[in-house]
């Protein structure tokens, strides 16, 4: 019986160490001068999320796109004519509020995405 308990504890420990994360990864890329952005959700890892956000920014017409941030649940972009802000959080409202706060120049949310 004692041997069985050790095996169960070992199996649980290994399972915990190799368990999948709860959320996929998202990312945001911004082209400040052109006021373009790209938001990506649902990527399997940070590299994939970054590449997806950069592509989305370029697909929107950005030529000076720069990666800004990764997030796990929700991400948002707020913009005005000269400024931008980014935010992330556990829900859309939190991400939106942080993006508006980060911009701090009469910005409005232009993109807000959450994991499905």
Whether 7 is covered by a domain: the verdict is no
Whether 8 is covered by a domain: the verdict is no
pLDDT at 21 over 80: no
Whether 52 is covered by a domain: the verdict is yes
Whether 10 is covered by a domain: the verdict is no
Whether 4 is covered by a domain: the verdict is no
When comparing pLDDT for 12 and 95, which is higher? 95
- Cα 102–34–96 angle (5° rounding)? 30
Q: What is the pLDDT of residue 8?
A: 33
Domain that holds residue 61: 21-114
- What percent of the chain is predicted at pLDDT more than 90? 70
Whether 3 is covered by a domain: the verdict is no
Looking from the CA of 106 toward its CB, the CA atoms found within 13 Å total: 2
Render pLDDT for 22-40 as a digit per residue (tens, 0 to 9). Answer: 457 999 999 988 889 999 9
Whether 85 is covered by a domain: the verdict is yes
* pLDDT (average), residues 70-75: 94
Whether 16 is covered by a domain: the verdict is no
Q: What is the pLDDT of residue 4?
A: 33
- Cα 82–84–88 angle (5° rounding)? 175
Beta-sheet strands, E only, within 32-73: 36-43, 66-71
The structural domain count of the chain equals 1
Burial state string for 19-42 with b = 16 or more CB within 10 A and e = fewer than 16 = eeeeebbbbbbbbbeebbbbbbbe
Render pLDDT for 84-114 as a digit per residue (tens, 0 to 9). Answer: 999 999 999 999 999 999 998 889 999 999 9
């Amino acid at each position: 019986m004692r041997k069985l308990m050790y095996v169960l504890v070992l199996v649980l420990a290994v399972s915990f160490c190799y368990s999948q994360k709860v959320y996929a990864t998202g990312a945001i890329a911004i082209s400040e001068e052109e006021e373009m952005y790209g938001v990506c959700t649902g990527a399997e890892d940070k590299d994939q999320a970054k590449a997806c956000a950069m592509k989305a920014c370029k697909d929107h017409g950005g030529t000076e796109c720069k990666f800004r941030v990764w997030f796990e649940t929700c991400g948002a972009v707020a913009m005005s004519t000269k400024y931008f802000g980014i935010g992330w959080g556990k829900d859309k409202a939190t991400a939106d509020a942080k993006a508006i706060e980060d911009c701090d120049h009469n910005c409005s949310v232009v993109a807000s995405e959450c994991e499905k």
